[in-house]
Amino acid sequence: MHREENEFETLVPAASKVKRSFYKVPCSNDYKLEKFEACKPKTCGRVVMDDLIDEDDALHLLSVAKKGLALGGSSGGASILDLHSGALSKDNAFINIYNVIKSEDIDLLSLQDFSIYRKVKNQIHYAIARQFNIPQDKLYLTKPTFFSRMNMKEPSTIHDEYWHAHVDKETYGSFHYTSLLYLSTYEQDFTGGRFIFIDKNSNKTVEPRLGRVSFFTSGSENLHRVERLKDGVRYAITVSFTCDPSQAIQDPSYK
């Protein structure tokens, strides 16, 4: 049985800056029938790093999220911006941000925006490969990789209900390793919104902090959810990786 949802054990608080914190968990059976021997998880767990990403780069990416999402935004409380596909939440559907930029002749995204995005992605890619002892050339960026914004709007569609427990490998299929870069800070920019790993004996939380990277193996050993927001606005980037080269995506580029 899982602990009651109001019982939390804080894995890493927002007030503490950690160089690297690793919490090992037993791997599930999700990977056993897969190939990709050089890449698939042999050790599973959760990692939090606060000194991987420069604060200036995190702040720059926050500005990218804000200016991109200003062109759209969900009718409910959860909006996304995907620089790879161009998908941008708009009311109860999605539009393509690149089509909007072109049709309205807006000078919105710069070469620097994409350069910093790639730099940060590469830093996370390296950290995951090093932590789990994977050759970097066997680990691929995959979709969806996106900015997210959560606010206090009431949900309009099921996509706004971000607080449900799920397993990334089941939800997205291609995922082997999931990472998040937080672009806002718990109890400064918002309350609620903690990241919760749901274990049999405890619910372990990671409190978001600007520039904090959290990554973990994507199987059912890491069932999780995001706590429903209580106040404020929460920004983050989800950066996803796969062992399957057929599911790889390219870096976004200036269009």
Residue 73 burial class via C-beta count within 10 angstroms: exposed 0-12, middle 13-18, buried 19 and up: middle
Instruction: Name the residues annotated as catalytic.
Output: 234
Report the alpha-carbon distance of residue 237 to residue 147 in Å, rounded: 4
Report the alpha-carbon distance of residue 108 to residue 81 in Å, rounded: 14
**Strand partners of residue 8:** 203
Report the alpha-carbon distance of residue 97 to residue 90 in Å, rounded: 10
Residue 47, amino acid: V
Q: Which of 89, 198, 223, 107 is nearest to 148 (CA)?
A: 89
**Do 25 and 45 form a contact (C-beta atoms < 8 A)?**
yes
